[in-house]
Structure 1
Amino acid sequence: MMYEQRQQPLMNRADRRKINGERRNAIEEERLEVVDLSGMSLKTLPNPSLNLATICELYLFNNDLQIIPESLTARMLNLVVLDVHSNQLKSLPNSIGCLSKLKVLNVSGNLIESLPRTIENCRSLEELNANFNKLSRLPDTIGFELVNLKKLSVNSNKLVFLPVSTSHLTSLKILDARLNNLRSLPEDLENLINLEVLNVSQNFQYLETLPYSIGLLISLVELDASYNQITTLPDSMGCLRKLQKLCVEGNPLVSPPMEVVERGLQGVKEYLSEKMNAGHKSPTKKSWVGKLVKYGTFNGRIGSRKDRQWFHVSPDHYHSFDGPDSPGYNRKSPKYTGNCSIEGLASPRQLGMFSPRRLFSPKNFF
């Protein structure tokens, strides 16, 4: 009884500290300011009359700004939203990397030719809009650092390639890269396990192929690859179970033929699935799925629940792995003694380990 009485005041003090902490956070949030200087024809920014560290949202769009001072962004440590679209900016300050709390950055409608590499330090960034600029490339390692990015819009630029690191943006839901000069897409797209919308339309005479890994985008709902020079859709697209919208008009398609395309999405998926199955059944046809079958990582059918229990994958995510009936499997212990067991081709932990290019290189056989 005495023990309980002694402990009670301690619990009360802990509760008071928690309440006081919540109050302090609420007071700090109340002190944060939203500053709107949009549509004022500003050519330079006025000297601020308030502490820059108190600004959480800054709107400077529809002005004539040509530069954002380094000292300005370096001191806005609590900034969450920065909107400077529709100005005359040719570059962004390197100090933008100081904005560790920044979640939304809109720099569309400017004259920016490249993004500073320091933008990788904005690790809280969830939305980046850089449409309608003059970007010829993105920072090479942008995908390794912006792990929380959910929307990347870079349409209407001069991009020739997307960096390989783009395939590491595992939180990405929307990727809009239309109206560029894209020659190809990264090979390891299967790592984009949350991608729902992919738009690579209107790269016109430049984009001629889509990678086979596009068929492993397990969350993809919309794909727009219209008005390019694509002649063949990858057979793997027949595995896109969640796909609801497919736009491929304006391409010189040979496979699938136009009469199949005119039957709609379901017709295209059935055609590609049949072609994929025919490919891996034929010993002479060098299909990607056929190689997966050969090396025991794909059996051409959806595994049963009993089969899938031996692999750490979600039943809804992947189509077909060899299960316990595989000759290389040891039933007494969950170890794969023949071919290498995997956690799933689209597992973010693999980070490109099982891309078609790497998996089937003569130097990288299991």
Structure 2
Amino acid sequence: MYDQRQVRMDLSKKQGNGRGRYIEEERLEIVNLSGMSLDSLPNPSLNLSTICKLDLSNNNLESIPESLTARLLNLVAFDVHSNQLKFLPYSIGCLSKLKILNVSGNLLHTLPKTIENCRSLAELNANFNKLTMLPDTIGFELVNLKKLSVNSNKLIFLPQSITHLASLRVLDARLNCLRSLPEDMEKLINLEVLNLSQNFHYLENLPCSLGLLVSLVELDISYNKIKRLPDSIGCMKKLQKLCVEGNPLVSPPMEMFEQSLHAVKEYLREKMNARHKSPQKKKSWVGKLVKYGTFSGHMMRGAGLGERERFIMSEYRSIDGLASPRYMGMFSPRRLFSPRTYFTR
């Protein structure tokens, strides 16, 4: 498997603090078997526990032996993108030190439940597969996950447990079949980038808890069927970029989008203010906004704020002809050629 005539191998070398001292990482190896047209993996010729990075990408692998992953005890990065994998081994849960896992560009319909045992995982890339669902409990144990990319799949929903990914900074779920989002989005306190674009005919509504994403900087909801933005978005203090093109939006009205992000936020806050003063019973999410300190029940204006925000928007045009499911993939015309319309600072 790791014959020197075939394998491009680099040893990880690091100096010790004292003369003659060597840290454990000096004995760990980086093994690169990318692009070697492998259909299967022959028996290894070295100790698998010495490998810290293993690249098996761009091959023709249909499976990974359970016995292989079970012995990769020091593996930190595992790259198997662009193969023919239909499933991942259950023993992947043995990779307790794994931080980066790239399984994109395969034929995966599901991820093994044991993946939640990879508690050191910081980045998971499962783009361009055939995923119809994620493990129900995936969010409960992956406490260190910072980036989750599941774009270009067939996901209908995201599991409720995903809201427990408190370390998550980037969530990319574009080009799926999402019909809704979990209600308790406010638990993602470190989320900075959320991409829900190009779920086309499926995603029609956003939860009000979206406005409680206190760290969110970029939100992309373009090319969906959203008619109304949640009023709570007006309270997103750190939001700098909002992509909305390709939606039949009626609230806020289109003239708001022609002005600035500040104008849109102000419009939504005004709506919320009116609702807050209404004698009717307050919505529970409004109470949460007050609790989180993002909404005080009155308008918030900042001197000069509008001058720092600007909005660029091309003319809205229907994409019904190009938004059919057959275009939802790696070479989607909407993905490759659609004009980018966004709020920015």
Deviation at 1:263, TM superposition (A): 1.5
Q: Do residues 281 (structure 1) and 277 (structure 2) align? A: yes
- Which amino acid is the alignment partner of residue 125 of structure 2? N
Partner deviation per Cα, 1:141-161 (whole Å, 9 max, x = no partner): 000010100000000000000
Task: Please identify runs of 4+ aligned residues in structure 1 that moved more than 4 A.
Answer: 20-25, 284-290
Q: Do residues 151 (structure 1) and 147 (structure 2) align? A: yes
Aligned residue for 1:38, secondary structure, equals: coil
Which residue number in structure 1 is paired with residue 195 of structure 2? 199
Q: 2:290 aligns with which of 287, 298, 304?
A: 298
Which residue number in structure 2 is paired with residue 67 of structure 1? 63
Residues 76-91 of structure 1: matches in 2 within 5 Å?
Answer: 76-91=72-87
- Which amino acid is the alignment partner of residue 293 of structure 2? Y
Relative to structure 1, is the Cα distance of residues 53 and 251 closer, same or farther in structure 2, using a 3 angstrom cutoff?
same
Gap runs ≥5 in structure 1: 1-19, 300-316, 323-366
Which residue number in structure 1 is paired with residue 225 of structure 2? 229
Partner deviation per Cα, 1:63-85 (whole Å, 9 max, x = no partner): 01101000000000000000000
Partner deviation per Cα, 1:301-345 (whole Å, 9 max, x = no partner): xxxxxxxxxxxxxxxx733579xxxxxxxxxxxxxxxxxxxxxxx
- Which amino acid is the alignment partner of residue 271 of structure 2? K
Which residue number in structure 2 is paired with residue 120 of structure 1? 116
Which residue number in structure 2 is paired with residue 185 of structure 1? 181
Residues 1-366 of structure 1: matches in 2 within 5 Å?
Answer: 26-284=22-280, 287=283, 292=287, 298=290, 318-319=293-294
Relative to structure 1, is the Cα distance of residues 22 and 72 closer, same or farther in structure 2, using a 3 angstrom cutoff?
farther
Q: Which has the larger radius of gyration?
A: 1
2:235, 2:295 within 8 Å by CA — same for their partners in 1?
no
Aligned residue for 1:298, secondary structure, equals: helix
CA distance in 2, matches of 1:215, 1:176: 18
- Which amino acid is the alignment partner of residue 56 of structure 1? C
CA distance in 2, matches of 1:24, 1:199: 50
2:232, 2:269 within 8 Å by CA — same for their partners in 1?
yes
Gap runs ≥5 in structure 2: 1-15, 298-345
CA distance in 2, matches of 1:69, 1:125: 21
Q: How many residues align?
A: 282
Relative to structure 1, is the Cα distance of residues 318 and 26 closer, same or farther in structure 2, using a 3 angstrom cutoff?
farther
Aligned residue for 1:223, secondary structure, equals: strand
Which residue number in structure 1 is paired with residue 305 of structure 2? none
Deviation at 1:22, TM superposition (A): 8.8
Partner deviation per Cα, 1:1-27 (whole Å, 9 max, x = no partner): xxxxxxxxxxxxxxxxxxx99999943
1:52, 1:75 within 8 Å by CA — same for their partners in 2?
yes
Q: CA RMSD in A?
A: 2.2
Deviation at 1:254, TM superposition (A): 1.1
- Give the % identical residues: 73
CA distance in 1, matches of 2:52, 2:39: 22
Aligned residue for 1:72, secondary structure, equals: helix
Aligned residue for 1:97, secondary structure, equals: helix
Aligned residue for 1:276, secondary structure, equals: helix
By percentage of residues, which structure has more helix?
1
CA distance in 2, matches of 1:22, 1:90: 48
Partner deviation per Cα, 1:93-140 (whole Å, 9 max, x = no partner): 000000000000000000000000000100000000000000000000
Which residue number in structure 2 is paired with residue 314 of structure 1? none
Aligned residue for 2:25, secondary structure, equals: helix
